[in-house]
């Protein structure tokens, strides 16, 4: 039980004193110290901490005598205090992580003419896409004009865990990254307009986030900050599934694909949502 009490925030001495007093029913500091095997020089501080934590009550006599609060109430106080501590710790960690993310994003690696690539397969490919979206700093171009690719994306986004991708797009737009997306015009994405995160994302339509439609049987790709490219490889056995994603850091390739993207983009009709329709 001592280890369980320690997990709820008590020290070893506090746990020993509480259990000893629970068995005694009530007692003075010397009795508690003796039964709990705690040095007399520490017992008063330990009992003071237990009082402050609402685990024991003291009789205001000389010498003071102590008794335990009802265990159910005591554990409720302990759990409440521990949860509050964890909440504060969580907020501190989140603040620290956000600050570090901002600082580290400003660290630029040395420019190199060498091509560097990595591959993510299966479920890891979706995580690589999300990481790349979150990592973009200036511009993100998403090119998915083929019907089979857009249809695969539509089905994928219906899965709850895939909403992380939409959340990543929204958070990235909020931080000022220019995002342009080309989807297939024959695939109906209107259902997603009811999603809270999509409603928030569409508020940036024309001001950081833009979506247009085309119909081209081309390999899907993303371009991040004009420096790296994500090539999406569909499953040859089941083309409706994403098989792998290749992340290629090659500025020359990124620039060539960027030109191709804007050739299609400039002629494509813009999408503002089902209620406003498609504007040519």
Question: pLDDT digits over 257-267, tens only?
Answer: 999 999 999 99
Sorting pLDDT into bands at 50, 70 and 90, what band is 8?
Answer: confident
Q: Is 143 left (phi over 0), alpha (psi -120 to 50) or beta?
A: beta
Q: Assess whether pLDDT exceeds 50 at residue 278.
A: no
CATH architecture for residues 2-74:
Orthogonal Bundle (1.10)
Sorting pLDDT into bands at 50, 70 and 90, what band is 178?
Answer: very high
Comparing C-alpha atoms, which of 202, 226, 245 is closest to residue 136? 226
Pick from 19-23, 140-144, 213-217, 270-274: least confident: 270-274
Pick from 33-37, 67-71, 75-79, 202-206: least confident: 202-206
The CATH code belonging to domain 116-279 is: 3.30.870.10
Q: What is the pTM of this model?
A: 0.63
Question: pLDDT digits over 87-116, tens only?
Answer: 999 989 988 887 887 777 666 656 656 778
- List b or e across 69-87, with b for residues whose CB sees 16 or more CB atoms inside 10 angstroms: beeeebeeebeeeeeeeee
* Domain map (residue ranges) of the chain: 2-74, 116-279
Q: Give CA–CA dist 56/242, Å, rounded.
A: 60
Question: pLDDT digits over 148-175, tens only?
Answer: 888 888 887 777 666 788 888 898 999 8
Q: What is the mean pLDDT of residues 271-275?
A: 63
**Strand ranges inside the chain, DSSP E:** 26-28, 56-59, 65-68, 116-121, 139-144, 178-184, 209-214, 221-224, 228-234, 242-249, 270-271, 278-279
């Amino acid at each position: 039980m001592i280890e369980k009490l320690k997990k709820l925030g008590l020290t070893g001495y506090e746990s020993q004193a509480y259990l000893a007093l629970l068995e005694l029913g009530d007692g003075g500091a010397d009795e508690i110290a003796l039964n709990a095997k705690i040095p007399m020089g520490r017992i008063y501080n330990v009992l003071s901490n237990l009082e402050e934590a609402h685990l024991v009550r003291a009789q205001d006599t000389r010498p003071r005598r102590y008794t335990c609060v009802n265990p159910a109430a005591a554990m409720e106080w302990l759990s409440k205090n521990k949860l509050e501590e964890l909440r504060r710790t969580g907020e501190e960690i989140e603040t620290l992580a956000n600050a570090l993310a901002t600082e580290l994003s400003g660290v630029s690696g040395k420019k190199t003419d060498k091509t560097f690539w990595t591959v993510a397969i299966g479920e890891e490919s979706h995580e690589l896409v999300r990481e790349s979206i979150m990592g973009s700093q200036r511009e993100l171009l998403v090119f998915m004009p083929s019907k089979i690719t857009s249809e695969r994306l539509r089905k994928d986004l219906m899965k709850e865990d895939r909403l992380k991708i939409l959340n990543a797009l929204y958070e990235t737009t909020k931080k000022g990254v220019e995002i342009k997306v080309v989807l297939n015009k024959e695939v109906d994405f209107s259902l997603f307009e009811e999603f809270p995160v999509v409603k928030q994302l569409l508020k940036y339509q024309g001001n950081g986030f833009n979506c247009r439609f085309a119909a081209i049987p081309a390999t899907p790709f993303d371009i991040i900050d004009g420096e790296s490219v994500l090539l999406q490889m569909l499953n040859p056995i089941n083309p409706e599934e994403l098989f792998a994603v290749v992340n290629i850091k090659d500025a020359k390739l990124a620039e060539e694909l960027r030109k191709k993207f804007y050739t299609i983009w400039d002629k494509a009709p813009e999408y503002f949502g089902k209620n406003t329709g498609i504007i040519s």
